[in-house]
Amino acid sequence: MSALRNEIVRSVHHWTEELFSFRTSRDKGFRFASGQFTMIGLRIDGKPLLRAYSIASAHYDDELEFLSIKVPDGKLTSRLKDLAPGDEILVGAKATGTLLLDSLTPGRNLYLLGTGTGLAPFLSLVRDPDVYERFEKVILVHGCRQVRDLAYRSKLADELPADEILGDLVRDKLVYYPTITREPFKNRGRITDLIANGTLANDVGLPPIGKQDDRFMLCGSVQMLADLRPLLEGAGLSEGSTTAPGEFVVEKAFVE
């Protein structure tokens, strides 16, 4: 079996000058777990140019969805940003990644902490009923610089709670907590600070973070992960894997 498949772009949505998302066809044989990523790309001069992308769609969706940055002069994204419905795109035949429910020990509250396009894997996870079966509360925190960077805001705040199938679970268990660093907004500040000073737990009505009840998935820049890791470890939490589940798991949203 080839490592790459050709899929067809079905729709494209531009959120800002720097951010867009798109949906593609999905080969029936392509399987993934919520939170995983795959390689996607374009054939340039006959050769595949591929980058890692988290899968933003639900594992049961007939299509695949991706949220993408537009890096000025970025090798892939300077071309990817021009995708239009009907275009072909390469999608890896396999998915992988560390943001897996099975890498976490049972807990009560699941914190999903993402900055920028680090939201993408969590868009898949919050559409997975298994998440709500395993946790009493799911707190999705999306950190961005400006309000306009909050892609999927109305989907998360309005559409998902009204969803015919997931709505009851989402209304009962999901707390969507966008936070902004560079302009006024109802929630302000870096995720690290909001956790360190107890603002996040307080705002969502939960006790300070602790090993017994709280589980974390992190997806952001190297710096964001480096800042958060000691905070979690300081509270007695340890990183999990499929072979040795723990209290938190980590994935880079991009490589610098």
Ligand X SMILES: Cc1cc2nc3c(=O)[nH]c(=O)nc-3n(C[C@H](O)[C@H](O)[C@H](O)COP(=O)(O)OP(=O)(O)OC[C@H]3O[C@@H](n4cnc5c(N)ncnc54)[C@H](O)[C@@H]3O)c2cc1C
Instruction: Please report whether residue 48 would count as binding ligand X according to CB under 6 A.
Output: no
3-state secondary structure of 49: strand
Question: What is the closest distance, in whole angstroms, from the C-beta atom of residue 161 to ligand X in the complex?
Answer: 24
Q: Total binding residues for ligand X by CB under 6 A?
A: 23
Question: What is the closest distance, in whole angstroms, from the C-beta atom of residue 210 to ligand X in the complex?
Answer: 28
Q: How many CB atoms lie within 10 A of CB 47?
A: 9
- The closest of 59, 207, 196, 54 to 137, measured between CA atoms, is 207
Instruction: Please report whether residue 169 would count as binding ligand X according to CB under 6 A.
Output: no
Q: Considering the complex, state which of residue 151 and residue 166 has its C-beta at the smaller distance from ligand X.
A: 151
Q: How many CB atoms lie within 10 A of CB 220?
A: 25
Instruction: Please report whether residue 254 would count as binding ligand X according to CB under 6 A.
Output: yes
Instruction: Please report whether residue 51 would count as binding ligand X according to CB under 6 A.
Output: yes
Q: 3-state SS of the chain: helix, strand, coil percent to 5?
A: 25, 30, 40
Question: What is the closest distance, in whole angstroms, from the C-beta atom of residue 50 to ligand X in the complex?
Answer: 9
Kindly write out the interface string for residues 58-77 of this chain, putting x where it contacts ligand X by CB under 6 A and - elsewhere. Answer: --------xxxx-x--xxxx
218/8 Cα distance (integer angstroms) = 30
Find the residue with minimal CB distance to ligand X.
74
Q: Considering the complex, state which of residue 4 and residue 52 has its C-beta at the smaller distance from ligand X.
A: 52
| Interacting residue with ligand X among 22, 53, 152, 176 (CB under 6 A) | 53
Residue with tokens 């899929």: 7
Residue ranges in 119-138 that form contacts with ligand X under rule CB under 6 A: 120
- Tokens of residue 251, six digits: 């994935």
DSSP 56-85: -S-TT-SSEEEEEE--TT-TTHHHHTT--T
Instruction: Please report whether residue 45 would count as binding ligand X according to CB under 6 A.
Output: no
**Contacting residues toward ligand X, per CB under 6 A:** 37, 51-54, 66-69, 71, 74-77, 116-117, 120, 251-256
